[in-house]
Structure 1
Amino acid sequence: MPPVITIVLAQLLGTSLWFSANSAADDLVCSWQMQPADIGTLTNAVQLGFILGTLVFSLSGLADRFPASRIFAVCALLGAGFNAAFALLAHDLASGMPLRFAVGFCLAGVYPLGMKLVVTWVPERAGAALAWLVGMLTLGTALPHGVRLLGSGLPWQVAISVSSLLALLAAGLIFRLGDGPHLVRRHGAPPLRLGRVLYTFSIPAFRASALGYFGHQWELYAFWTLVPALLVASGLAESGTALLSGLAFATVGIGALGCVTGGFWSHRIGSARVAAAALATSALCCAFFPLTGELPAWLRVGLLLLWGFSVVADSPHFSALSARACPPEIVGSALAFQNAIGFAITMVSIQLATRWVGDWGLSIAWLLLPGPIFGLLGLFPLWRRPAA
């Protein structure tokens, strides 16, 4: 199997851990006697674990000191274990949160290190390859909804446990593959210190890409978390139904097609302009979706699918632009640190969105709108240039 295909397949399987608990949100609210906002708290436990994990990997230099394939494999293995423990041992919010936190910490060795693995194998095609990688992350995020749809009559623990089995397979694939021949750490390269990672933000191209990414992150994970609530609030599906799982899977999963389409398009107009186009499209969807209450259901579903298509299509291009802008010997650490800041931003938008969605209804989409607008402004120095 070609290396890039192996990596993107492993990313699909490994990142199914991320939203595995969200696929069982209705059952968790009922069986654990939680409030809907507590689902946001569980999601944020994963985000916080991911943030601290990326900080450990980036600031310690672990992301560039050890083979990325080994870190990926170990973290996918541990993440599978913690996820299975959540399904089989957790019985309330207090016991579930530490396990979701641990899953997030392990994902810090799966997602950023998967990006580095792509660059070690095909640096000359990083934009297109990362588009496939993030597409698989998106499909992996949607995968628990799909598993839940297929096993709608089974206990919620089954769908979550399936994600653990998929992550074990991901660990085996990457352990067998190993690292690529590129971006080998040079002899005599400067030590990996905090200052070296922070230095990347003084590079104009890296800073512009990072600011675009931060705006994008305000919207993306809050949107993914809100998808079931938006479907229910808009009257497109009822809580706890197979239709809800199916539409949620389609809305999140179509982002994989957006990533791949953006990857092909980047060959013609460049990564920065693809990212800008995706930000602008998702901003329009944010602005107009709350106003669609009187439209036919098929139009509202279509707009939601367009939002799901565009909301993540820019993500791989921020990674490609940032990787291109920073010194090669600290690519892993710089991307991990950028991810840490971006995911800290997601915690704020997720917490606010899940807390207020009951009162705001569909208008909660407007809470996400500042993200893509800020991202467009931050990215402006790059997308105004000729395609490269």
Structure 2
Amino acid sequence: MSAVPRRILPVIVLSQFAGTSLWFAVNAVMTDLQQAWGLQASAVGTLTSAVQLGFVAGTLVFSLLMLADRFAPSRVFLACSLLGAACNAATLLADGSLGVLLALRFAVGFLLAGIYPVGMKIAASWYREGLGAAMGILIGALVLGTALPHGLRAIAGDGAGSLFAVGGLQAWQSVVLGVSLLAAAGGAATALLVPTHPAQAPGARITPRALGLVWTDRQLRASVFGYFGHMWELYAMLVLVPAILATRFAGSAVSAAAFWVIAAGFVGCAGGGLLARRHGSARVAWWQLAASGACCLAAPWLLAAPLPVFVGWMLLWGMTVAGDSPQFSTLTAQNAPAQVVGSVLTFSNCIGFAISVASIELFVRAAAAWPLAQVLPWLAVGPLLGLWMLRPLLRGDVRPAALPSRPGR
């Protein structure tokens, strides 16, 4: 087997980082949109849910049509990066119309299905050995991409004289365009520098039989339902991060703090991948899920804690709420029959993101009606369910599931 060119993983990681920055581009400038267009505070939840639903729809369409097998994956990645960048940039033309914004965010989510999963497919074709470590870095790049718009908004500063307020554009408009340009550059980098692997295996067709296996196989059910509990907490927490930080910071400092809190998930993903080599994915996922659940439950006390303790709590939460993601992907792939791994991952991702839509809508509206100290502990419902479901995997006796045979006719 020939050596993998050294540029492959760095290019994929940077492109994944650039492309997935589209995910939270509007969230990072939501305060600006509320001031400029009079949007309601709850709009941040609705717009994020639109991205999630678009991703669910896109994942199903891309999988059913097998687009990354019919066409070169790097070309699919490029097309989706360019189209996603264009849809994101079109935010500037929405002129306060929530309906237009929702359509654009749904389109961005749909196109992200050709960026995040396709980037993982490209990486898997080149790194069949040591994929676990690469997975931690790749999902960590997704987390950094999610945090990036908040970082750009912090750099932009406040007021008409801010750094990004150039060419007659307001600072928030320049941030949105900057994210779009970065995503387009990431797509171009992958298309130009990452060729299709010469021995890339075609993907298997999606089969509904895999969906039944999620419910009937004990070990697969453990990893998938653990993931569902993780998804209940993850995106709702990420959406609420600016609101939580606004209780202690103001102005661009909120965006700067949000960047560091969300970006801490990279440490959790990469560090978790290293720990999993020694302790196993199930234990690492259990530890991180337990830690993030504890952060939820401790919210009533830590929201009013001294600033250093408050900041430490938020960084720990950001690190652990995302850090178990690679381990859940690994566990599901390990416990699913080889013939239907792609189907199981597709269905579990779609259900998980659908759960995140319900969670986002519930918690954003709850946070508008009640104090955060009363709302945040309920995020722990997901981690607690996930911890309960993960118990069968903690013994370390993982074995591949068997695909039930069809009855004879």
Task: Answer yes or no: same fold by TM over 0.5.
Answer: yes
Match of 2:360 among 335, 347, 350: 350
Report the CA distance shift for 1:276/1:144 in structure 2 as closer, same or farther (over 3 A): same
Deviation at 1:324, TM superposition (A): 3.0
Matches within 5 A, 1:211-226: 211-226=225-240
Which residue identity lines up with residue 212 of structure 1 in the other structure? G
Contact 1:219 1:368 in 2 (8 A): yes
Match of 2:122 among 78, 96, 117: 117
Which residue identity lines up with residue 301 of structure 2 in the other structure? L
Deviation at 1:61, TM superposition (A): 3.7
Q: Does 1:230 align with 2:241?
A: no
Partner of 1:372: 383
* Cα deviation code 1:188-220 (max 9, x no counterpart): xxx724325425525544332211111101100
Q: Does 1:17 align with 2:34?
A: no
Which residue identity lines up with residue 192 of structure 1 in the other structure? R
* Cα deviation code 1:42-91 (max 9, x no counterpart): 11111111111112123344455544333222211211111111134443
Distance 1:198 1:265 in 2: 30
Partner of 2:405: none
Compute the RMSD of aligned alpha carbons: 2.1
200-209 or 244-253, larger mean C-alpha shift: 200-209
* Cα deviation code 1:317-373 (max 9, x no counterpart): 111222333355654444232211111000011001111102322222122111111
Mark the runs of 5 or more structure 2 residues left unpaired by the alignment.
1-5, 400-409
Distance 1:185 1:123 in 2: 14
Distance 1:81 1:103 in 2: 9
Aligned length: 380
171-180 or 161-170, larger mean C-alpha shift: 171-180
Distance 2:136 2:82 in 1: 25
Deviation at 1:174, TM superposition (A): 1.9
Report the CA distance shift for 1:184/1:9 in structure 2 as closer, same or farther (over 3 A): same
Match of 2:191 among 152, 157, 175: 175
Contact 2:74 2:190 in 1 (8 A): yes
Distance 2:225 2:238 in 1: 21
* Cα deviation code 1:94-133 (max 9, x no counterpart): 2211011100000011112222222211122122111101
Report the CA distance shift for 1:42/1:55 in structure 2 as closer, same or farther (over 3 A): same
Report the CA distance shift for 1:79/1:99 in structure 2 as closer, same or farther (over 3 A): same
119-128 or 56-65, larger mean C-alpha shift: 56-65
Q: Does 1:162 align with 2:173?
A: no
Deviation at 1:257, TM superposition (A): 1.1
- SS in structure 2 opposite 1:311? helix
Partner of 1:276: 286
Distance 2:75 2:224 in 1: 27
Contact 2:302 2:313 in 1 (8 A): no
Distance 1:163 1:332 in 2: 30
Distance 1:328 1:215 in 2: 24
Which residue identity lines up with residue 184 of structure 1 in the other structure? A
Partner of 2:142: 137
Contact 2:39 2:96 in 1 (8 A): no
Identity %: 45
Deviation at 1:223, TM superposition (A): 0.4
Task: Please say which structure displays the higher CA radius of gyration.
Answer: 2
Deviation at 1:292, TM superposition (A): 2.1
Name the TM-score, length of structure 1 as normaliser.
0.92
Which residue identity lines up with residue 143 of structure 1 in the other structure? L
Partner of 1:102: 107
Partner of 1:194: 207
Distance 1:165 1:179 in 2: 24
Contact 1:215 1:371 in 2 (8 A): yes
Which residue identity lines up with residue 361 of structure 2 in the other structure? Q
Name the TM-score, length of structure 2 as normaliser.
0.87
Partner of 2:259: 249
- SS in structure 1 opposite 2:360? helix
Partner of 2:396: 385
- SS in structure 1 opposite 2:396? coil
Report the CA distance shift for 1:375/1:104 in structure 2 as closer, same or farther (over 3 A): same
Partner of 2:3: none
Report the CA distance shift for 1:333/1:293 in structure 2 as closer, same or farther (over 3 A): closer
Between structures 1 and 2, the one with greater helix share: 1
Q: Does 1:208 align with 2:228?
A: no
* Cα deviation code 1:121-174 (max 9, x no counterpart): 112212211110111111100000011111122321111111111111111122
Structure ranking higher on relative contact order (CA contacts 8 Å, 6+ apart) = 1
Deviation at 1:252, TM superposition (A): 0.6
108-117 or 254-263, larger mean C-alpha shift: 108-117
Partner of 2:371: 361
